[in-house]
Structure 1
Amino acid sequence: MTDASDARVVVERRGHLLLIGLNRPEKRNAADFAMLQQLALAYGQLERDPDLRVGVVHALGEHFTAGLDLADIGPRLGPEGLEMVPEGGINPWQVDGTALSKPVVIAVQGTCLTLGIELMLASDIVVAAESTRFGQIEVSRGILPFGGATIRFPRAAGWGNAMRWLLTGDLFDAREAHRLGLVQEIAPNGRELHRAIELAERIAAQAPLAVQATLANARLALREGAAAAEAELQPALARLAGSTDARIGMEAFLTRTEAVFEGR
């Protein structure tokens, strides 16, 4: 694992996975400007490298994140908000019009506040330790959620369920997060990352182009509606049918062997 005394985010390649770890445990992984930039660069690395198929986001220490380090971030807020994505990076919250084309699985534990929930909402599968505590507490700090919670939380949980937590700033537990659809699986404490990696490896074993096309069409439906996604289904199918991976998949089906996909 890549590590350095000043690294706010550490990355590790594990086969076709990129493990992305928040690394400020002494501050409960509160995100300062350096962490935001390094996280964006890690997402950019995941996007660009054709050998990487799935990202796994996790956090070192007892807590996923205590949210923004407002003492560091506050003075950086300008008239246009917060500019945090360096060249080569991708906004991990994907609220600037640029979407990651590859899936992300997240493992959370301990405290998971504000931008942590928004990072979950911007990802694809979330595994939470059973003792995790969540909170969308921006209204208690005089600001609003600006990483996508106002858009994605109501969509995931329903309007009233989302407003119950967005407008009060109250904390809730992993069971409630699972009921709301923010979390897909609850794992025993200390096993959440292991389970997230298992799921990521399962995804990485599938045909990468097919995974990305499935993800893209589902996101198209959310952003532009069912009609736009429907119009793209047959063209996407035709593109995939001519791929090497489609041939590999068919041969594996006919010979009853396990497919080893190449991503082309």
Structure 2
Amino acid sequence: MGEVTVPVSDRDASAEPDGRITVTRQGHVLLMGIDRPEKYNGLTPKMFSELADAFTQLDEDPELRVGVLHSFGKHFTAGLELTKFAEGMKKGDSVTEEKAQARVDPFALKRKCSKPVITAVQGICYTAGIEMMLASDIVIASKDTRFAQLEPRRGLMATGGGTLRFIERCGWGNGMYHLLLCDGEFSADEGLRIGIVQEVVEPGTQVARAIELANRIATLAPLAIQETKRSAMLYVEEGEAAAKAVLDQVQAKLANTEDAAEGVQSFIERRAGNFKGR
């Protein structure tokens, strides 16, 4: 299992006023950091473009197995910096503005990442921040996290997946309660109760915990992990019949891999598997 090292930002805010996304490799794990803390990590078009690049790198690099999305400073993100997106919204432009849908969409509304992503959140996590974390697979929240899905207060609606994934994760009543009331912030414990958060941890430990879980996943057979995510996504998007229809053929494909042979051998020898992703 890889060593847990939490990245530290060295960004010069005056040189990069529109923020940036940091990319750090730790073994088979890719850390993607939102870095604009002086503006509550408010998201700009530049940052979304860099996020798409980072997610695409994770998806396409065979040596990378798991991603961790995190942020620097006291807050995850206050959401979009609306003044930088308002004109595009009037034209119906997508926030992510993917070029021919070639890159992975951080909201997972277009091209999706085939590999697991864990999101670590803290402090303010509003609007687009919630939608990005809900596009990931596992969410680790600091106890001080404050969530809010507030778009109707600005005459807009959540279009980064919030209207879909609140219902998917929480059920109709809990989803509508927070999507429609827009009644201010709710806590990490409430997020855990309704299902948008999987673990609540002490402040300052959320990124380390996310990396720890990512490292654990990265020790497993990567092809099997990716097919597990793909099967679950197929169920959500196309239903039970579609997911069931391909179970046997996918399992047969996996059973004929080198990793499956290694899995059997490691079972016989009572040791951890050494998986190569082939």
> Residue 145 of structure 1 aligns with which residue?
158
Amino acid at match of 1:188: E
Cα deviation digits, residues 188-241 of structure 1 (max 9, x gap): 000000110111011101000000000000000000000000011000000000
Cα distance in 2 for partners of 1:107, 1:65 equals 11
Cα deviation digits, residues 151-170 of structure 1 (max 9, x gap): 11011111111111111212
Matched-pair contact (CA < 8 Å) for 1:42–1:89: no
Amino acid at match of 2:146: R
Q: What is the SS of the residue equivalent to 1:167?
A: helix
Deviation for aligned residue 1:260: 1.0
Tell me if 1:15 matches 2:27.
yes
> Residue 3 of structure 2 aligns with which residue?
none
Structure 1 residue runs of 4+, over 2 Å off? 1-7, 75-89
Amino acid at match of 2:152: V
Gaps of 5+ in 2: 1-6
> Residue 165 of structure 1 aligns with which residue?
178
> Residue 39 of structure 1 aligns with which residue?
51
Deviation for aligned residue 1:84: 2.2
> Residue 253 of structure 1 aligns with which residue?
267
Q: Share of identical aligned residues, percent?
A: 46
Cα distance in 2 for partners of 1:139, 1:74 equals 14
Tell me if 1:90 matches 2:83.
no
Amino acid at match of 2:165: R
Amino acid at match of 2:117: V
Amino acid at match of 1:211: I
Cα distance in 2 for partners of 1:169, 1:12 equals 35
- Per mean C-alpha deviation after superposition, the further-off stretch among 140-149 and 6-15 is 6-15
Deviation for aligned residue 1:186: 0.3
> Residue 103 of structure 1 aligns with which residue?
116
Tell me if 1:175 matches 2:189.
yes
Q: What is the SS of the residue equivalent to 2:274?
A: coil
CA-atom RMSD, angstroms?
1.4
Q: What is the SS of the residue equivalent to 1:77?
A: helix
Equivalenced residue count is 263
Matched-pair contact (CA < 8 Å) for 1:40–1:86: no
Matched-pair contact (CA < 8 Å) for 1:41–1:86: no
Tell me if 1:185 matches 2:199.
yes
> Residue 195 of structure 1 aligns with which residue?
209
Amino acid at match of 1:181: G
Amino acid at match of 1:72: K
Gaps of 5+ in 1: none
